[in-house]
Structure 1
Amino acid sequence: MSSSPASGQKGALQRFLDIVERGGNALPHPIIMFFYFAVGTVALSALLSLIGVSVTYDAMDRASGELVPTTVAIKSLLTADGVRFMFTNAINAFTGHAALGTILVAMLGVGVAEYSGLISAMLKRMVLATPKSLLTPILVFAGIMSNIASDAGYVVLVPLGAIVFMSFGRHPLAGIAAAFAGVSGGFSANLVIGSTDPLLGGISTEAARIMDPTYMVTPVANYYFMVVSTFLITILGTIVTDKIVEPRLGSYGGDMGEKADAMTPEELAGLKRAKWSFFALVALLCALIIPEAAPLRDPASGQILGNSPFMQSIILILTALFLIPGAAYGFGSKTFESAEGVVQGMVKSMSTMASVLVIIFVSAQFVSYFTYSNLGIVAAVSGADLLNNIGFTGLPLAVAMVLLSAVVNLFMGGASSKWLIMAPVFIPMFMQMGFTPEYTQVAYRIGDSTTNIITPLMTYFPIIASFAARYQEENGPKIGMGTVISMMMPYTFFFLGGWIVLFIVWSMLNLPLGPGAVMFM
């Protein structure tokens, strides 16, 4: 096995990783960061209001529908009105946050599907039923699809990938790499709407309302782009695994005796029940959508997409599509003995949301202060004017947003916590430059995914390194975090480069990003 880079390369890599680790460890907890941001917003609003900072820009007049010059000045939060706002609006800022309800409701369904074992069983079934010729693409694809749940891909698919690769006489580290690349490197791609989509959409909605109080970013705002991205990342992940990573690893000299466990009769029975319950749900949805006078169509226009009841209820529908098959699997596989199992699954999923709720509460105060003080509008207009003046606009600016997100992700994990920081600044600024919030969100998601697999600050990275260490050869080089990073680096380069090319082509063709979601204002 030749998993260790040359000494010069290893030294440069280690120096880079040391910088990333020190920088990431120096950052406070996201909740503390948002507290600092809120306090800083209060102080900055008072200072800039005292100076008399204001901007003038063209805003849409709601009565006439025309653009009219509008002047906005900074409002201090340290005035009597500002203090009253901070005290009286704290609860409304939290309960009215667009991400709060959507993520909690979505996780009820995902939690049952995960707690019952449905998601793990589906991943296992998919990989075990794969012929040798399709092993790599199916493993990468299964990793991408696994991100609809919180950690099933990391704790089930990654170690399973090593075992399945060994069962076909292939290097187990290549199986770990392929699965990890799909699970984490392809985090923002999927064929279905997962818990991340409503969470990011809610954050984007709050940021967009700094400029337009009526703007709504739906959970399916990036769906078309992410479906195509799923196949792109699957293809790229397969090429990198088969042509770069596995040849570099060489032949495996360790024990090849470990075999993947076959599906149990209980798992198969559970999957059968889940399948039929899913088909029944789909049939019911078709009855509620397809007929001309169906109740989930728009009663005025008859449309299914757009601002129809179907789109307004998409989170509830997705919750049902996870919850009911998850419950059916639980009863079929005997992981649920009674309805209490379903309840426990929902309760457990809510318990994992504790940190998210605290982050949303503190960040909601920051965003409300940012909006009330007009700092968001002033920053957006001033930033857009600066970029226009230096000629840095259009597609190059959007690509720069991808790269910035990729770099920030090296130092700070968590897709939602970073977006809570970046969205209130970049979404209004990009709106001023003609980009929709949906487009800015796509740019962020690309960068946020591609560097997950090479930063030691990612939550599951030490766990992946421990999985890899299990396959240490007796006389081979030591397998550690540096080995995993060097093994995953080609995926980052290919995923980032390929995704940027797709992003550029998509932009040039001006294709919709999702149902009713365009790229330009």
Structure 2
Amino acid sequence: MAAAENKQNNNGTGQRGWFTRFLDTVEWLGNLLPHPVTLFALFALLVVVASGIAAFFGVSAADPRPGQEGVIITVNSLLSGDGIRWMVSNLVTNFTGFAPLGTVLVAILGVGVAERSGMLSALMRGMVMGASPRMVTIVVVFAGVISNTASELGYVVLVPLAAMIFHSLGRHPLAGLAAAFAGVSAGYSANLFIGTVDPLLAGFTTEAAQLLDADYIVGPEANWFFMIASTFLIAALGAFVTEKIVEPKLGKYNAAEADPDYEDDGSVKMEKLSKQEKLGLKLAGLTFLSLAALLALTIVPEWGVLRNQETGGVARSPFLNGIVVYIFITFAIPGYVYGYVTRTMRSDVDVIHAMSKTMSSMGLYIVLVFFAAQFVAFFGWTNFGTIMAVKGAAFLEAINLTGPMVFVFFILMCAFVNLMLGSASAQWAITAPIFVPMLMLIGYAPELVQAAYRIGDSVTNIITPMMSYFGLILAVAARYKKDIGIGTLISVMLPYTIVFFVGWVTLFYIWVFALGMPVGPGAATYYDLAG
């Protein structure tokens, strides 16, 4: 018996040793990367130098677009006189005209009111703490996915709260933490609502698509249908992994493993919603429904004022083009109603203060966007994006990888890159100018490429130390298991990554290629180069 136990322990140690070495390698590689802002500045500088070298050697590609037969696309050098004049003249407009900048800032103003009034936090507490013991797991994961609308709220509030709730139910608190973390982070791109990440990614996709088609626009609603379906898939898969894999692996919780120095600092409350909070949520909900009904009158009837006035349809209508305005309205107004009822907001000054506090937290994003905008603009002006897309598409055709299977490799690549570059916007800003036009050239629409990217970008968030909130999650976990390390936490989360990847990719193929459904309102699946 003792020999068997020693053998099992040695095997376990060996497995942990191999896994820890792998994680150490990922962490080491990730630490080699500079700050995302520095990374974009270096990439922009690299494009400048590379454009001069490529132009000197005459790098070019034949234009594949109909009507452009015989036209050769050459590299424009930023080190030439024209290039230097262009950079100096367009540095400011590259930034101010960058598609994701204004849309994200407008959306975040409305979300900030809803968040700082306490409405979003109360909504999550009400969902999780009001669930029956049998339903608590799936509700925790579902609430995690929904919390992505206000990014950090899920990490800061829901993850610690879920651990406490599982503990109070006699279940392992790390299972609750894992379920919430999986919903918030591995299900990052799924949601029932259009949030701040949607206009952010759509802006980068638009910039990339316009390298090939100057008139192509990708709206924030581009992946909405697929993301709604993904929400329920992630909730179901997350509950399954938690109850069938993670909890049995963790076993019965031993309170002796907890950190003896941990004391609840009061940042996360187990208190149920007060009568005032419940009333605030009800009135905020009614306000939201009223706004939705009013909005429906502008788009559902044939005479709707926000329909496309030329075609009479919804595609390319003011409604879809202005979806960010409705994100702002449907968060700000119900948020204020909740705040007024619960006395967290009593005047316009409180609303302004909430907006200004939220906007002040966007300073790093604005700095990052400045350098990202230069990189994207430089990449486009030099023709690097178009030439790389043409040559990449030719390579895919040469190896006969132009069918739907190309997306499996694309999603895997995004998932791998995400291990070392955790920012969704930073990763997409770098990869979109290459892969969006490349996949357009073999017949796939930018909206579809973006949906595939979001799968890869999400599923590995929970197993990379490079994710910005990974340290916070590790600190919360250490409250219940004082000697927990990075390798242990990632080993707990790895089953979610594997199951989510398989399930989400399967849904993607069934949704798009088997059922032929669009990933969003008016979103195309295929791109016709001749069209």
TM-score band, normalised by shorter chain: over 0.9
Cα distance in 2, alignment partners of residues 5 and 220 from structure 1? 49
Checking the alignment, whether the CA contact within 8 Å between 2:512 and 2:519 is kept in structure 1 is: no
Shift of 1:43: 1.4
Aligned residue number for residue 394 of structure 1: 403
Cα distance in 2, alignment partners of residues 293 and 434 from structure 1? 35
Q: Which secondary structure does the structure 2 equivalent of 1:204 belong to?
A: helix
Cα distance in 1, alignment partners of residues 272 and 99 from structure 2? 43
Shift of 1:283: 2.5
Counterpart code for 1:454: I
Checking the alignment, whether the CA contact within 8 Å between 1:370 and 1:376 is kept in structure 2 is: yes
Aligned residue number for residue 207 of structure 1: 208
Among 484, 493, 499, the alignment partner of 1:494 is 499
Q: 1:22-33 residue pairs with structure 2 within 5 A?
A: 22-33=28-39
Aligned residue number for residue 75 of structure 2: 74
Cα distance in 1, alignment partners of residues 509 and 299 from structure 2? 34
Cα distance in 1, alignment partners of residues 487 and 385 from structure 2? 41
Shift of 1:335: 1.1
Shift of 1:418: 0.8
Q: TM-score, normalised by structure 1?
A: 0.94
Checking the alignment, whether the CA contact within 8 Å between 2:407 and 2:452 is kept in structure 1 is: yes
Aligned residue number for residue 64 of structure 1: none
Shift of 1:279: 2.2
Cα distance in 2, alignment partners of residues 267 and 481 from structure 1? 38
Cα distance in 1, alignment partners of residues 149 and 473 from structure 2? 19
Aligned residue number for residue 189 of structure 1: 190
Checking the alignment, whether the CA contact within 8 Å between 1:109 and 1:321 is kept in structure 2 is: yes
Distance 1:192 1:228, change over 3 A: same
Cα distance in 1, alignment partners of residues 364 and 176 from structure 2? 32
Aligned residue number for residue 86 of structure 2: 85
**CA deviation string 1:246-296 (max 9, x = no partner):** 111111232899992111233223213312221221222123233332211
Among 267, 286, 302, the alignment partner of 2:296 is 286
Counterpart code for 1:416: S
Among 34, 46, 50, the alignment partner of 2:40 is 34
> Gaps spanning 5+ residues in structure 2: where?
1-7
Shift of 1:160: 0.9
Among 453, 460, 475, the alignment partner of 1:451 is 460
Shift of 1:382: 1.1
Q: 1:68-467 residue pairs with structure 2 within 5 A?
A: 68-254=69-255, 260-303=270-313, 305-467=314-476
Counterpart code for 1:276: L
Shift of 1:449: 0.4
Cα distance in 2, alignment partners of residues 290 and 410 from structure 1? 43
Distance 1:4 1:293, change over 3 A: farther
Cα distance in 1, alignment partners of residues 270 and 347 from structure 2? 30
Checking the alignment, whether the CA contact within 8 Å between 2:440 and 2:446 is kept in structure 1 is: yes
Cα distance in 2, alignment partners of residues 301 and 337 from structure 1? 44
Aligned length: 510
Counterpart code for 1:117: G
Among 17, 32, 52, the alignment partner of 1:11 is 17
Aligned residue number for residue 479 of structure 1: 484
Say whether residues 1:58 and 2:67 are aligned partners: no
**CA deviation string 1:411-453 (max 9, x = no partner):** 1111001111111111111111212111111121101100111
Say whether residues 1:506 and 2:511 are aligned partners: yes
Cα distance in 2, alignment partners of residues 4 and 354 from structure 1? 50
Moved more, 493-502 or 478-487: 478-487
Q: TM-score, normalised by structure 2?
A: 0.92
Cα distance in 2, alignment partners of residues 92 and 347 from structure 1? 25
Shift of 1:298: 2.0
Moved more, 507-516 or 16-25: 507-516
Moved more, 107-116 or 262-271: 262-271
Q: Which secondary structure does the structure 1 equivalent of 2:219 belong to?
A: coil
Cα distance in 2, alignment partners of residues 4 and 298 from structure 1? 67
Checking the alignment, whether the CA contact within 8 Å between 1:204 and 1:441 is kept in structure 2 is: yes
Q: Which secondary structure does the structure 1 equivalent of 2:296 belong to?
A: helix
**CA deviation string 1:351-410 (max 9, x = no partner):** 121111111111111111111111111111111112221223222221111001111111
Counterpart code for 1:292: E
> Gaps spanning 5+ residues in structure 1: where?
62-66
* Cα root mean square deviation, aligned: 2.0
The list of structure 1 runs, each at least 4 consecutive aligned residues, that deviate by more than 6 angstroms after superposition, is: 2-5, 255-259
Shift of 1:68: 4.2
Moved more, 14-23 or 159-168: 159-168
Q: Which secondary structure does the structure 2 equivalent of 1:72 belong to?
A: strand
Q: Which secondary structure does the structure 2 equivalent of 1:151 belong to?
A: helix
Checking the alignment, whether the CA contact within 8 Å between 2:512 and 2:518 is kept in structure 1 is: no
Among 17, 32, 46, the alignment partner of 2:52 is 46
Cα distance in 1, alignment partners of residues 282 and 195 from structure 2? 22
Moved more, 277-286 or 193-202: 277-286
Shift of 1:310: 1.2
Cα distance in 2, alignment partners of residues 289 and 210 from structure 1? 31
Shift of 1:3: 13
Checking the alignment, whether the CA contact within 8 Å between 1:107 and 1:195 is kept in structure 2 is: yes
Cα distance in 2, alignment partners of residues 7 and 126 from structure 1? 40
Aligned residue number for residue 4 of structure 2: none
**CA deviation string 1:86-115 (max 9, x = no partner):** 000111111111111111111011111111
Moved more, 273-282 or 191-200: 273-282
Counterpart code for 2:235: T
Shift of 1:153: 0.5
Cα distance in 2, alignment partners of residues 456 and 339 from structure 1? 41
Q: Which secondary structure does the structure 1 equivalent of 2:428 belong to?
A: helix
Shift of 1:144: 0.4
Shift of 1:135: 0.9
Cα distance in 2, alignment partners of residues 183 and 141 from structure 1? 9
Identity of aligned residues (%): 48
Q: Which secondary structure does the structure 2 equivalent of 1:20 belong to?
A: helix
Shift of 1:323: 0.5
Cα distance in 2, alignment partners of residues 454 and 321 from structure 1? 34
Cα distance in 2, alignment partners of residues 225 and 456 from structure 1? 28
Q: Which secondary structure does the structure 1 equivalent of 2:72 belong to?
A: strand
Shift of 1:480: 2.7
Shift of 1:4: 12
